[in-house]
Amino acid sequence: MTWQWAGYYMIIIYAALQGIDPTLYEAAKIDGASERQVAFRIKIPLVSSALVLILIFALIGTLQFFSEPQILGPVANGSITPDFTPNIYAFNLAFGYAQFNYASAISFSLGIVVFIAVYIFMFATRKKGSNLS
């Protein structure tokens, strides 16, 4: 699960790095900046929006964790319980116990939690008065 989306995230970061103007690197080199200074003062600030996007994708992906525990549940010797994740719990309530209303409420609540978490994260990581586009 940890490395499942790592390639996709690396492509996003690579694309953000490719979008940095090469003259910034040249100017930093002329000013005598080390590789570490270039990384921390040019690269990371300019790819921070891509990093925020990756963190949002990871947050949403974590809360959508369903397929792997559902598939591995029968062979996991009881370590994956019917309430392992909110998605599995709602699924088991709806299709195992026919409690569709309660399962719908759980699913809707999970959607609200995801929306609020992403909104708070976007609010906390927004750029204030940035001159960079």
113 and 58 within one domain: no
User: For position 133, what pLDDT does the model report?
Assistant: 45
Domain that residue 48 falls in: 1-63
What is the block-wise mean pLDDT of the chain (133 residues), using blocks of 10 residues? 83 96 95 95 94 89 84 82 88 94 95 92 76 48
SS3 readout for the chain: CCCCCHHHHHHHHHHHHHCCCHHHHHHHHHCCCCHHHHHHHHHHHHCHHHHHHHHHHHHHHHHCCCHHHHHHHHHCCCCCCCCCCHHHHHHHHHHHCCCHHHHHHHHHHHHHHHHHHHHHHHHHCCCCCCCCC
Asked if the structure places residue 133 within a domain, the reply is: no
120 and 71 within one domain: yes
Asked if the structure places residue 119 within a domain, the reply is: yes
Structural domain ending residue among the three candidates 63, 87, 108: 63
Asked if the structure places residue 22 within a domain, the reply is: yes
75 and 19 within one domain: no
101 and 80 within one domain: yes
